Chains A and B, each alone.
Chain A
Amino acid sequence: MTLKQIYKEEHGEKGWKKLSPRVKKVVETIDSLPPLSEKPLTSRELKEALK
């Protein structure tokens, strides 16, 4: 799920439209990144990577 989708689920389409352009740009930049790993990561793997 992308950050944009998460935000829209919480605040709706209206909320997204109200969001400042700077924040939208950040969210869209992050969402546009290619997958970091070949296989999607699990929460546990991400936790391990943070150690």
Chain B
Amino acid sequence: MRHFLIDASALVPAFIPVKDPGLTLRVRLAVLKLLELGGQRRANLYVPNFCMAECSKVFAKVAYRGTKDHVRATSIYRSYVGALLNVVSRANKGLIRSYELTRPHLVDVEDVFELEYARFGNEKHGFLSGLDALVIAMGRDLANIHGKDNVLIVTKDKQIAQVCNHSRHAFPGAIYVLDDPIPDR
């Protein structure tokens, strides 16, 4: 069975439609495919618990920005957080499970940065944030449990995907949702 670790960059677009779907449509299709696999019990879906906070941050930014009606914005923001908790929840047996951050993940972050800078140190594009590195460390943890070939990180962050896919000896593979399909098996 496959185990997919989905980060906030891949999950958020499923909740927020945009007026010019374009590439966002691919992200939403990828999430639908993941939900389908999860619903058929052909895959386990996880979201790092801190990515829930990242999703909430985006909901809050969008809901409160550009409005004077604070009460209405709060009500809408809460409905999004409620829906997220409904989808990602152990207690509600949500389709996606929240994956807890633990101390070993924080330790493993060092390996992530060392490998990133060894491989991409001279390039001009952006580098991983601390939270990005934690996503990879949690993916590695899942790979240690379920086997590297059975775990995939799902992201819309190119750097996360590149670091994982160029360091397969150390990390699980990653699906960059704008380019890569979600495998059926």
Please name all residues of chain A whose beta carbon is closer than 8 Å to the beta carbon of B77 when the two chains form the complex: 36
- Distance in angstroms from B86 CB to nearest chain A CB is 6
Q: Which of A22-43 contact B (CB under 8 A)?
A: 22-23, 26-27, 29-30, 33-43
Interface size on B, residues (CB 8 A): 42
Which one of B18-26, B140-148, B159-167 contacts A?
B18-26
Knowing A26-B86, A42-B18, A43-B23 are in contact, say whether A37-B38 is a contact too (CB < 8 A): no
A10 touches B29 (CB 8 A): yes
Nearest A residue to B23 via CB reads A43
B86 touches A29 (CB 8 A): yes
Please name all residues of chain B whose beta carbon is closer than 8 Å to the beta carbon of A43 when the two chains form the complex: 18, 20-24
A33 touches B80 (CB 8 A): yes
> Per-residue CB proximity of B53-85 to A under 8 Å, as 1/0?
010001101110111000000001101100100
B40 at the interface (CB under 8 A from A): yes
Q: Which of B91-143 contact A (CB under 8 A)?
A: 95
Interface centre among A7, A22, A30, A35 (most CB of B within 10 A): A30
Q: What is the CA–CA distance of A2 and B38 in the complex, to the nearest angstrom?
A: 20
B35 at the interface (CB under 8 A from A): yes
B25 touches A6 (CB 8 A): yes
B1 at the interface (CB under 8 A from A): no
Q: Can you name 10 extra interface pairs (CB under 8 A) apart from A20-B36, A20-B39, A40-B19? A: A30-B14, A33-B83, A36-B59, A40-B17, A41-B19, A42-B18, A45-B18, A46-B13, A46-B58, A49-B58
* Chain A interface residues toward B at CB < 8 A: 1-3, 6-7, 10, 19-20, 22-23, 26-27, 29-30, 33-43, 45-46, 49-50
Q: Can you spell out 19 A-B residue pairs with CB atoms less than 8 angstroms apart?
A: A3-B14, A20-B39, A23-B35, A23-B95, A26-B86, A30-B83, A34-B79, A35-B76, A37-B62, A39-B66, A41-B62, A42-B20, A43-B18, A43-B24, A46-B18, A46-B58, A49-B58, A49-B61, A50-B58
